[in-house]
Amino acid sequence: MQIGLNFTLGNTLDLVQRLIREGEVDYCELLIDNFLHVPPHELAGAFDCPIGFHIMFSKFLESDPEYLESMAARLRTYIDVLKPMYVSDHVARFNHNGRQLYHLAELDYRSEYDAVRQRVERWQEKLGQRLYLENYPSIMDSGCDAPGFFERITQETGGGMFFDASNAVCAHHNCGLALDAWETLIDSTPHFHVGSYNYSILEPKVVLDTHDGELSSDTLAFLERYKERFDKPGATMTYERDVNIEYDAIVADLRKLRAIFGDAKAVSHV
């Protein structure tokens, strides 16, 4: 299992380069559409490691064809230069009735399946790559439909599952979706995300995918229990940290991941 970190903001480059230099990460995942005005070779030169791509604002399920055509052309330039191990995107709703949702919403996996499938096929074709699709950190009961949705859509489109383990833990807490509902999908993919969660301010508490702190014990237990399913040739596990970006805290979590997947570096202490 290769352990990586997400890179979303240029001002964290020094920290990420240090993690690479010191061997705390094996690769880096770029939130690539944050960097579409950085010359591709400059971006490639900034990372002395393999790269993954995670797309944030294609909004491919909603955007008009001209916008997607333009964005795909730009992304293909970066794909050609940086040769990412994977290209992934979000399966979520960004807008409702033309108004932006600042907290993304989950799809209605049942009623929206056909339209979503068409969009996945087209976006994947435009990118010229197998597209990995990430599961949502479900709060409401729609989450219970997610495993069946992803099994069907990956099979029918040839796309891949981009399995976010901590998002599955959120869904487990919030809508009671058993973690073993994801077994087939975990087996089917080599690419994973993991990050911290936190609790809502109000009661009844819901669990929110916040990426702001330490990995929870139940997320780590999930990875441990299923490590043989997660770990496979070419497997990648990207640790997501978007808030409280502190070197030692990040290294501590990275080493917990290495300890689960049996890497000797985890033995030494921060």
Partner 1 sequence: MSENRTIDSELLDALMVPARQADYPRDSRAFVRIDTSLRVYWHVLFDICPELLELSGPDGLSIFRPFMAWADARQLSMNWTFYIWVYQWLLESEFREQVTRELAQSLTAASAARWANGDRSTNGGIVLGCTDFPELIAGWKCHTANGGREIECLELEDPLPMPKGRFGYFTVPKFELDNFPGWSEIPR
Residues of this chain that interact with partner 1 (CB under 8 A) are 9-11, 13-14, 33-38, 42-43, 45-46, 57-58, 67, 70-71, 74, 93, 96-103, 105-108, 111-112, 138-142, 144, 174, 200-206, 208
Instruction: Give the nearest distance from C-beta 266 to partner 1 in angstroms.
Output: 29
136 neighbors 150 (Cβ within 8 angstroms): no
- CB-nearer residue toward partner 1: 96 or 227: 96
Nearest-approach distance from CB 94 to partner 1, in angstroms:
10
In the complex, least distance from residue 84 CB atom to partner 1, rounded to whole angstroms? 15
In the bound complex, what is the minimum distance in angstroms from residue 25's beta carbon to partner 1? 17
Closest contact distance (angstroms) between CB of 61 and partner 1 is: 13
Q: Which is nearer to partner 1, 172 or 191 (CB)?
A: 172
Rounded least distance, CB 132 to partner 1, Å:
20
Least distance in Å: CB of 192 to partner 1? 23
CA distance 265 to 269: 9
186 exposure class (CB count in 10 Å sphere: 0-12, 13-18, 19+): buried
Q: How many CA atoms lie within 13 A of 240 on its CB side?
A: 17
Q: Which is nearer to partner 1, 58 or 166 (CB)?
A: 58
Q: Are 102 and 51 in contact (CB under 8 A)?
A: no
- For residues 56 and 270, which CB has a smaller minimum distance to partner 1 in the complex? 56
Q: Which is nearer to partner 1, 118 or 200 (CB)?
A: 200
Nearer to partner 1, 55 or 260 (CB): 55
Nearer to partner 1, 70 or 155 (CB): 70
